[in-house]
Structure 1
Amino acid sequence: MHGGYGYTRDFHVEQLYRDNRLNPIHEGTTGIQAIDFVGRKLIRDKGEALASLLARIDGTLARAAASAALAEAGRVLKMARGAVAEVAQALVADPAGTGALDNATAVLCAFGHLVAGWLWLDQALAAEAARDHLPASFVEGKVETARYFAAYELPKIPGWLSPLRAAPHLLGEVRAELF
């Protein structure tokens, strides 16, 4: 490909090759972390930690409703919160009936986006509250980032969670020899 050079540092091929060799390890770790999250951190404690998280999110949502610039981001976060809470309650109530571990990675992605959206909104609200003591560009950056995340990232959550409603056991029903 590069004549006599092979994989030298003159080209980025060496780094790209090395990084792509590591991607399967990262993906496997994501699955393991997802199973741990759903099984041990969500189902095992019967959703107690989730209830605490949702209460904190609700506090941010109440503050967002009073902000002209962030009310829409709050509305979108509330929708995402509802979708995640609904699925989480179903997982806690009937882990076997929901295919909880089969769909753990999708649940982890949805929860991660919910938390990221909440943190962006919370930061933007804090920046707005301290507007007099912060550079205007800093405040505007926080507000616009929260608005972006609400518009472009939070709407992905229902898509990740829809298989848990439509066909939760589909993955578990596939015969191993088909792999």
Structure 2
Amino acid sequence: DVRRMLLAQKAYSEGGLALCLYGARLMDEQHTHPDEQKRTEAGKLLDLLTPVIKAWPSEYGPKANDLAIQVYGGAGYTREYPVEQCWRDNRLNPIHEGTNGIQALDLLGRKIWQDQSHGLQLLMQEMQVDLQAATTERCQQWALSLSETLQQAVKVTQSLGKSLMGGEVDKTLANASCYLHLFGHIIVSWMWLRQANAAANALASANSDSERNFYQGKLQTAQYFFHWELPTVAQDLVLLRNQDDTCLNMKADWF
């Protein structure tokens, strides 16, 4: 069980770090790429991914901290160990960006549809490169899982877009947090596929135990994310597909 908790922490922290570094790279390319079209495309991708870059690490960072406390047991809750302070410090992150719920509304209500969804089209093109680059058996399995989930997400997005165009704004945006979770997990799955592809290619030429351990660790953590985390979006797909109104129709007096 400790291995499970440590794997989850590694998946959350290194997946979130990869996402933030990808955003930083887009920012660099937006300002410094010699090709003007590439600069424009980097800016559109960054606009689309900004709500995810803000929200996903800020939600799953504290989850990793929570698991770190659990690994230590009762001692983890005391100030003798730093994980307790890490949790308290990082718990602010889902709040101080304007709350992750606002990021969800921004993503589903605005960013997805900007410039006739050009940013989303660019994102899918970028993802397709890494899906095709998965050449080992393990990576191919993960690429297939990601591709299938992506196709379902595209269909749900199209359905939500029609509802927004039809004027059903409140009903469509009521479950925006589900959409952010769906979209965020797809993006971080992509980040893990990129890392897995690189690790699989580098493993063959690794010339030390430390290098091999590093790449094997990346592959095993990618497996964790694809086996344990990506499947959790199935619930989001159902709620979004049905435009579930459970939360929307709750009345203040009923609390």
How do 1:6-155 and structure 2 match up within 5 A?
Answer: 25=95, 29-64=99-134, 66-95=135-164, 96=168, 99-134=171-206, 135-155=211-231
Displacement of 1:111 in angstroms is: 0.7
Displacement of 1:44 in angstroms is: 3.8
TM-score of the two chains, using structure 1 as the length reference: 0.76
Aligned letter for 1:107? Y
Q: Which residue of 2 aligns with 1:157?
A: 233
Residues 168 and 98 (structure 1), Cα distance of their counterparts in 2 relative to 1, 3 Å cut: farther
Displacement of 1:169 in angstroms is: 4.0
Percent of residue pairs identical: 37
- Superposed CA deviations along residues 117-159 of structure 1, whole A, max 9, x for unmatched, are 1110111101222335542112211111111111000101121
Residues 37 and 71 (structure 1), Cα distance of their counterparts in 2 relative to 1, 3 Å cut: same
Gaps of 5+ in 2: 1-78
Q: CA RMSD in A?
A: 3.3
- Native 8 Å contact 2:150 2:186 kept in 1: yes
Greater Cα radius of gyration, structure 1 or 2 = 1
Residues 178 and 125 (structure 1), Cα distance of their counterparts in 2 relative to 1, 3 Å cut: same
Q: Count the aligned residue pairs.
A: 170
> Secondary structure of the residue that 2:173 maps to in structure 1?
coil
Aligned letter for 2:241? R
Gaps of 5+ in 1: 1-8
